[in-house]
Structure 1
Amino acid sequence: MTIPQFRYSPQPALVPLEGCDWANKMVLNPAIVQDPAGPRLHMLFRATGPWPQKQREGKLPPYPIFLGYAYSDDNGATWEADFSRPALAPALGWEKQEMYITDIHGNRVLNYANGCIEDPRIFPVEGELYMSVACRLFPPGPYWMIDQDPPINTRYDYVPEWVHEGEGPFYETCRTNDTVTVLFKLNLDRLKQGLYEEAFAYIGPLTEGHISDNRDVFLFPEKMKIEGKEQYVMLHRPMNSKPFPGGEAIGPSIYLAAAERIEDFASPKATHRLLATRVFDWEANRVGASWPPIAIGEGQWLVAYHGKKDVHFGYTQSFMIVQEREDDFPEVVHRCPDRLMYAHQDWEMPSDYPTPCLFTTAGIVVEGELIMAYGAADQKIGISWVKLDELIAHVRQYNAVGGGRKFDEPHHVV
């Protein structure tokens, strides 16, 4: 069986831009989607820089996180980015009365995307285009300093005093400043025309911040019949797995959630099921899904996922195949035990962070080729390509727990 040949961009596809206040420190973790009207690929990327406009006395500058827009006309080999302004920016409200936004239905609701908008994933659901983003209510300071020795934690530097006065889930989430994943509806036509203010409609949270920091969240594009009802199905990765089924001793793992309404995911109405936990050495710290599943026929889906061992070994990527079941959650049927993607080029190696990181956040299929976009070293963006049929054939060699034929390393082509 041929080992999948992954090709990688020999240089970063996008890097931080000096002089761009919202993108001069980090540009990473992109989502991509193909234009339905032609070959152009559209990208939304995460970016940050120091924001002295909101700096408070005695604190390091905040680093709010924005989304920028870029496009490619050569299947991802080169990209044109709009650094003139963010495509989507956090509101950066400070007072309690500033913590609201108008949702897609015209309601005034709490804005969980007030401080940071991170790690976009774009996916269709029932023919409509959506984007999930990991959000914080308040921006941190230079957050990468938590991995320094000794660590410096700036997560709470911009949490206002009034959050300590209230009770309930919202105030609990404010106090921890944990990640809440938020869903937006995406108007691609408006986005590509540069009409950014009209491109995103706020729907609301997909996860509950008072229960766990939760990211790597996105939906399957089709409903599934579960517990006798047609339901939406979501992948998510709670950092605290204890409140979820089977999570008392497993650590951060990949979960499924099912709900009859998208708005019910962030509520007790959703039901949850463990999909996959840590199995291999390179996953010792955590595993999480990387980007929205791709249908590969006969009720099967290709799920890209990442594992982290520790701060020195870092993040690597692999794949599994899940199978739909009659009136039940889907389950893993094939899981590749190999580290199929990992940082190996000089430009992918870390500088500010100690952790090697190749973190895919997008995957689309164009003429039989899987095009993936990834963040490298938490500071730059790269693109990788692999033949979809070769990858699927490789993953199918293994059973649900990674047993079967094994190769030591994938074959990388730059």
Structure 2
Amino acid sequence: MKPNFRYLNKPVLEPVPGCDWAEKMVLNPAIIKDPDSNEIHMLFRATGPWPQKRREGCHDPYPIFLGYAKSNDAGETWDADFSRPALAPALGYEEHELYITDIDGNKVRNYANGCVEDPRIFYVEGELYVTVACRLFPPGPYWLSSQHPPVETRYEYVPDWVFAGDDSDPFMKTARSNDTVTVLYKLNLGKLKRRDYESAFQYVGPLTEGHVSDNRDVFLFPEKMMIAGKKQYLMLHRPMNVLPFEGGEKVKKPSIYLAAAESIADFASPKAAHRLLAYPIFDWEENRVGASWPPIALGNKEWLVPYHAKKDVEFGYTQSFMILREQEDDFPAVVHRCSERLMFAERDWEMPSDYPTPCLFSTGGIVMGEDLIISYGAADQKVGISWVNLAELVAYIRKFDETGRRIG
């Protein structure tokens, strides 16, 4: 029997009129269970017009922030702090302003200067982290790129000195394209709960190379795995341009990759080894696929991996699941992949308004009791929550083989 996903008849969070940093969109939430209680903590993406940084002749910039919320009733209702962002981009414009002090006390380039988007929260070796997709400079009203005719605002706030910079500098190349680079922060949950936001996040560094590809939907497995004779960190990522990666010439479309590295700092370097995990094969995946939120351990060296897909502008973003199994001294492999879209925009409040594309985009999942609680962005503007029985979901995914064919 197909698993039953339970939904609310309204969003749990939505844009707040008069809140400058969350007036336009509140979406794509990451969630984590409190280790000491039944509270659930959320970081959500938000944006609004920022006229105080507007340049003459340009649209208002729309920097992207993270906000904080918590729930005491398994996700049914949420107490959100809209008094100020939990994590904000620096919004520097001059070259000397584009630096930040990292977790080791070093002054490094700040890839999170313009936007911090689409958080995912997870543990690695017992320590809590959050990844965010970052741009060096904020865009204008970026949803206008989906209109007809499209209006491109991504480059409006890229300063002139960037284009006069060193062509061989990867940072400058990334700045010129203003593509997303995924950045890792260490997260102190206790300080986040106390709303001591200024010290809750420590900048670790980039996990992807912006000059190679725009890259997001990035997070790590909780423990190292034995790969190529070495214990290595393992990461999921989704490059927009797959051609520089193994198998990219064959699949050509944005796909899910694994990356292995001996240190976290090595992921954003040629030292990382990459393996194609999954690419679009079903009709509803025609445009792209990407992992949705950090894997859930199922035991017996198996992992539940949620993933999203996009077909086209009319069909939009949908969600499904696959199961990976660890391999002896190698990358994990897909052993079950559901060929059906299990979550998609259906309710009135999930339908698009500014964006033409229907969108149910999950960015968080935790297990509480028998349920898997899933947090998602709807219509690129709101936050929704869904519940499904974990055992029923896993049993259903096991009915499909690694190619999506029904077993038996």
Counterparts of 1:51 and 1:317 in 2: how far apart (Å)?
32
Alignment-derived partner of residue 329 in structure 1: 331
Which of 394, 400, 403 is residue 401 of structure 1 equivalent to?
403
Which amino acid is 1:232 matched to? Y
| Separation (CA, whole Å) in 1 of partners of 2:16 and 2:165 | 40
Counterpart mapping for 1:356-375 below 5 A? 356-375=358-377
Separation of aligned partners in 1, 2:335 and 2:131: 26
Normalising by structure 2, we get a TM-score of 0.99
The correspondence of residues 23-102 of structure 1 with structure 2, limited to 5 A, is: 23-102=22-101
What do residues 100-125 of structure 1 show as CA deviations (whole Å, max 9, x unaligned)? 00000000000000000000000000
Partner in structure 2 of residue 275 of structure 1: 277
Cα distance in 2 for residues equivalent to 1:39 and 1:131: 20
Q: Is the partner of 2:294 in helix, strand or coil?
A: strand
Structure 1 segment 82-231 matched on structure 2, within 5 A: 82-167=81-166, 168-231=169-232
1:58 is displaced (CA, Å) by 0.3
Counterpart AA for 2:210? G
Secondary structure, in 3 states, of the residue corresponding to 2:234? Answer: strand
TM-score by length of 1: 0.97
Aligned to 1:248, the other structure's residue is in SS state helix
- 2:355 counterpart residue number: 353
Q: How many residues align?
A: 405
Partner of 1:301: 303
Following superposition, the deviation at residue 365 of structure 1 comes to 0.3
* Paired residue type of 2:41: H
SS at match of 1:209: coil
Give me the whole-angstrom Cα distance separating, in 1, the residues matched to 2:324 and 2:181. 26
Residue 405 (structure 1) shift: 5.8
1:165 is displaced (CA, Å) by 1.5
Deviation string 1:9-57 (CA, Å, 9 cap, x unpaired) is: 2110000000000000000000000111100000000000000010000
In 2, Cα distance between the equivalents of 1:303 and 1:9? 24
Equivalent-residue separation in structure 1 for 2:6 and 2:401 (angstroms) = 26
- State the SS of the aligned residue for 1:109: strand
User: Does the residue aligned with 1:3 lie in a helix, a strand or coil?
Assistant: coil
Question: 2:234, 2:370 → 1: CA distance?
Answer: 26
Which amino acid in the other structure matches residue 130 of structure 1?
Y
**Amino acid across the alignment from 2:174:** T
Residue of structure 2 equivalent to 1:235: 236
Instruction: Determine if contact 2:42/2:68 at 8 Å carries over to the other structure.
Output: yes
- Name the structure 1 match of 2:5: 6
Q: Which amino acid aligns with 1:205?
A: P
Q: Secondary structure at the match of 2:12?
A: coil
Distance in 2 between the 1:171 and 1:230 partners? 33
Spell out, residue by residue over 1:168-220, the C-alpha distance to the aligned partner (whole angstroms, 9 max, x if none).
10000000000000000000000000100010000000000000000000000
Q: 1:289 aligns with which of 257, 267, 291?
A: 291
The AA in structure 2 aligned to 1:164 is F
**Secondary structure of 1:334's aligned partner:** strand
List, as ranges, runs of 4+ consecutive aligned residues in structure 1 with deviation greater than 4 Å.
Answer: none
The alpha carbon displacement at 1:278 in A equals: 0.5
For residues 75 and 389 of structure 1, the distance between their equivalents in structure 2, rounded to whole angstroms, comes to: 18
Q: In the TM superposition, what whole-angstrom CA distance separates every residue of 1:212-260 from its partner, at most 9, and x where no partner exists?
A: 0000000000100000000000000000000000101411000000000
Gaps of 5+ in 2: none
Q: How many percent identity over aligned positions?
A: 70
| Corresponding position of 2:340 | 338
CA distance in 2, matches of 1:403, 1:274: 20
Q: Which amino acid aligns with 2:379?
A: A
- The answer to whether the Cα contact below 8 Å between 2:43 and 2:68 also exists between their aligned partners in 1 is yes
Distance 1:331 1:36 in 2: 30
The separation in 1 between residues aligned to 2:199 and 2:180, in whole angstroms, is 25
Equivalent residue of 1:138, what SS?
coil
SS at match of 2:190: helix
Quote the Cα distance in structure 2 between the aligned partners of 1:323 and 1:34.
Answer: 25
Letter in 2 for 1:380: K
Task: State the AA in 1 paired with 2:6.
Answer: R
| Distance in structure 2 (CA, Å) of the matches to 1:315 and 1:272 | 25
CA distance in 2, matches of 1:391, 1:405: 16
1:346 CA displacement: 0.1
Q: CA RMSD in A?
A: 0.7
Partner in structure 2 of residue 409 of structure 1: none
- Give the match for residue 410 of structure 1: none
Q: Secondary structure at 2:293's aligned position in 1?
A: strand
- Amino acid paired to 2:196: L
Which amino acid in the other structure matches residue 77 of structure 1?
A: E
Q: Distance in 1 between matches of 2:337 and 2:183?
A: 29
Shift of 1:166: 1.6
Deviations 1:61-81 (A, max 9, x none): 000000000000000000010
Supply the AA of the counterpart residue of 1:121. Answer: R
Whole-Å separation in 1 of the counterparts to 2:70 and 2:77? 8
2:27 touches 2:46 (CA, 8 Å); kept in 1? Answer: yes
**Runs of 5+ in structure 1 lacking a partner?**
407-414
Cα distance in 2, alignment partners of residues 256 and 302 from structure 1: 15
One-letter code aligned to 1:59: C
- Structure 1: distance between partners of 2:313 and 2:96: 39
Write the distance in 2 (CA, Å) between the matches of 1:18 and 1:319. Answer: 36
